[in-house]
Amino acid sequence: MNKEILLFENELRKALSTPDARPEFVTKLESQLKKTSVSDKHFSHQSHRLRPAWVVVMCIVFTLAAGILLIGPEKVYAEVLKLLGYIPGIGIVDQTQPIRVLSGPVRVTRDGVTVSVNQALLTPQKTEIDYGFSGVPLSAYPKNEAVSGCIKQEYIMLPDGTMIAKTDPIPLDVDQVIFVIPCLFNTLPDTVPTNWEIPLTFILLPAETTVLPVQESTSSTTTPADKSQTATSSPIQIDETINTEDGFILLGWFHADIADNEQLQLTSVIYTDAKGKLIDTSFPEDIDLSTSGEPVGLYDFPWSIKFNSEDTEFPITIHYSGKIYTKVDLADPFEYEFDAGENPQEGQEWEINHDFDLDGSNFRLVSIRTTTGHAYGGYSLRFEGDVELNFSMQVKDHPAIGGGGGPYSRSMEFEKVPTGKIVFQFYDFYKLSGTRDWEEQWQPETLPTPRPETQSAADVCLDANSYSNLPDLPDGLDGWMVLTQLNPETQLVLQSLDGEEVAFTIPNATRGALNADGTKLAYPSDEGIVIVDLATQQSGILPNSSGGYDLHWSPDGKYLALLNPLSEYGIFVAALDGSKSKQLTNLGYESIAGWSPDGSLIYFAVPDAGGKGFMLQAVNVNTGSMHDFFILDDSSRKAPYPAVSPDGQWVAYRGRDNSSLYIKGMDGSSARLILDKSADAISGIVWEKDGYLLGVSLITDQYSDGEIILMQFENCEIYKLPGLHGELEGIFIP
């Protein structure tokens, strides 16, 4: 296969990298290696002379090439794979070469900003350093595209003062270097510390390190979804497999069979098991696909997936779907002359409704609207047509610097917006001509045996299989829930637990918060923070408030913690007596988790520089001092929705897959998986006032707006609330 030979070419080029080959020689060698049998074509002899060093190199190369062609590239490729191993967290390595790694993560904190060098991989060919940073406020980044932040490159300083690039190989006799970061990427001058110098120490890869073999895939079965295809024409290749502790990693290529006059737009890639169940896959971030060889076509690319094999019935099916667009031959571009005037106003719009005949189909320019007033101004155009189209457009004699859109709307931006009479040109039309599907099946040579559970199945309260059997909440439990609903516009609803009574509905409102005794509701608005007295349903604007979100009441009900009022960033505390709000943090991407029982601390989570999830932190309301607690194990990389229980004993949060729920003790004890992928996603996590019950809103196949469950996690007593739907914001149980 092309990719197999390309992979071997990479290894061959690395082994023979000195001296440099002439480009025409490399091109000829690539062409020769891509053949699966000896060509019967005769090459003419070159008359020019080679340097003596290249005579030796060429002898070696042609000897290797002859061996490859004699033995067969597939067998040679299989032998090459035996030299490779996969180290979780590091990636695929050549086991025949000395490998060094970082002796341990290094964290440096300056002025509240933390830089963490998490790992490094050193081989004789290159250096890879993985680092991250946290604590950088959003105000440190440019607010528009007209301004750019720092782009200075990191580098490595050797003990003798030599500076080398971050990816250059480090001499084998050098075990300690300084990693220099001139400035954090895209930050503005004088906003965060610069000139970071981080000492790193390297050691040989420990002998006890787990190295998993990379194996050639021999157990794939092609199943064309399009019956006109043959079994050998599937573009989905599965080339290598890695058996992990709990499943598999598959690596391969996609080679689309697209004609020269066609375009492909992939619309979905799904993975199902033998029972048709969707397989939850992820991208193995420690595998560098850029070393997979060069694609040979516009729609050719390498891919990789990682999945857990537990409860997976083999074989699995990989299914690609896409739209096919066919080129429409036009002698000349379509043109439309338009007079924007000499001073078009922001948002000014002209109805056009001009029709073009596109090979029997109608293509209509509906309207043109100005988008001036931003960093760069321009025009936005809206279209209609009989069929879906892909096409290009430009303003004649006025090159754009940016743009975007889809088949029915397009925008263009310019350094200087063209005005007066301008000519829009539309060209390179492709009509939607159909859809295409491809499938490939795979199963391991040996089916995996069930592995021992690291956590007792009894410890998991709910999973996808048991969710459908949840009982409804029995009668007798009084209380209320605050929900954000889409009906069809957003609204806040206060509704009884049985769903039968709606106390009130607030249109065009979201993200409300109940105080501990259930007497007041707060929610953000354009005018400020609105406070509603639930007994009288009278409302008013909190004095000196200016918007914000993620509201949390203090235990005594005298204060509100909130995020990002108007143009300011960070956590603020607003007093109900109307006194001036107090700023406690300045990042802008904090996720508030709640208050300590005595009201002295506000808990929040931010992405950690180590890249392992969100860090739970606390800020003292009175002094502003900060304290790190711990990483939320396996937490969502998008939004963990952390919620500290009112008694300060537990923190609940959304897992990495966004559909699982973890509970972790505030003493730092191990997290416990409570809900294991029981729905498509978790949209809300709220404790009731005593910390005994926990409410969770779940997005499911049946209810995309959210189903509600109420649980006591310690004994796994869980109930559905069938009369309630939406995103859970608050609970009050008398």
pLDDT digit string, tens, across residues 499-522: 889 988 999 899 999 999 999 999
Do 74 and 158 lie in a common domain?
no
Tell whether 244 is covered by a domain: no
Neighbours of 113 (CB within 10 A): 20
Tell whether 445 is covered by a domain: no
Whole-number Å distance between alpha carbons of 395 and 55: 56
Tokens of 253: 């290529």
Residues 198, 106: contact at Cβ < 8 Å? yes
Residues 117, 102: contact at Cβ < 8 Å? yes
In this predicted structure, the answer to whether residue 72 has a pLDDT above a threshold of 90 is no
Do 513 and 371 lie in a common domain?
no
Nearest to 548 by CA among 519, 570, 576: 570
Residue labelled with tokens 């091109």: 27
Least-confidence region, from 22-36, 421-435, 544-558: 22-36
In this predicted structure, the answer to whether residue 7 has a pLDDT above a threshold of 70 is no
Q: Give CA torsion, residues 258, 264, 268, 269, to 10 deg.
A: 40
User: Greater confidence, 7 or 276?
Assistant: 276
Nearest to 16 by CA among 29, 2, 1, 32: 29
Do 369 and 348 lie in a common domain?
yes
Do 680 and 556 lie in a common domain?
yes
Report how many domains make up the chain. Answer: 5
Tell whether 377 is covered by a domain: yes
Whole-number Å distance between alpha carbons of 734 and 731: 10
Do 511 and 392 lie in a common domain?
no
Whole-number Å distance between alpha carbons of 286 and 89: 6
Whole-number Å distance between alpha carbons of 524 and 572: 14
pLDDT digit string, tens, across residues 637-653: 889 999 999 999 999 99
The answer for 501, left when phi > 0, alpha when psi is -120 to 50, beta otherwise, is beta
Whole-number Å distance between alpha carbons of 632 and 613: 6
Percent of the chain clearing pLDDT 90 (strictly above): 62
Residue labelled with tokens 């992990």: 244
In this predicted structure, the answer to whether residue 119 has a pLDDT above a threshold of 80 is yes
Give pLDDT, residue 70: 52
In this predicted structure, the answer to whether residue 165 has a pLDDT above a threshold of 90 is yes
pLDDT digit string, tens, across residues 203-217: 999 988 989 999 988
Give pLDDT, residue 670: 92
Tell whether 643 is covered by a domain: yes
Residues 660, 676: contact at Cβ < 8 Å? yes
Do 126 and 33 lie in a common domain?
no
Do 133 and 71 lie in a common domain?
no
In this predicted structure, the answer to whether residue 661 has a pLDDT above a threshold of 90 is yes
Give pLDDT, residue 486: 86
3-state SS of 558-612 is CEEEEECCCCCCCEEEEECCCCCCEECCCCCCCEEEEECCCCCEEEEEEECCCCC
Do 415 and 532 lie in a common domain?
no
3-state secondary structure of 77: helix
Do 371 and 269 lie in a common domain?
no
Please report, for the domain that includes residue 617, its CATH number: 2.120.10.30
Burial class for 104, CB neighbours closer than 10 Å (0-12, 13-18, 19+) = exposed
pTM listed for this prediction: 0.72
User: Greater confidence, 326 or 405?
Assistant: 326
Do 557 and 636 lie in a common domain?
yes
Tell whether 275 is covered by a domain: yes
Q: Which of 43-57, 136-150, 351-365 has the highest mean pLDDT?
A: 351-365
Whole-number Å distance between alpha carbons of 220 and 250: 11
Side chain identity at 572, as an amino acid letter? F
Give pLDDT, residue 584: 95
List the domain range (segments joined by +) for residue 359: 334-432
Whole-number Å distance between alpha carbons of 378 and 126: 44
Percent of the chain clearing pLDDT 70 (strictly above): 84
Do 426 and 570 lie in a common domain?
no
Chosen domain end from 36, 57, 82? 82
Whole-number Å distance between alpha carbons of 110 and 130: 19
What's the chain's length in residues?
A: 734
Across 125-141, average pLDDT = 93
Least-confidence region, from 36-40, 63-67, 347-351, 372-376: 36-40
Do 56 and 102 lie in a common domain?
no
Tokens of 429: 């039309």
Least-confidence region, from 223-227, 331-335, 381-385: 223-227
In this predicted structure, the answer to whether residue 27 has a pLDDT above a threshold of 50 is no
Q: How many whole angstroms from its chain centre is CA 590?
A: 18
Q: Is the bond preceding residue 646 a cis peptide, omega within 30 degrees?
A: no
R_g of the chain, CA atoms, integer Å? 31
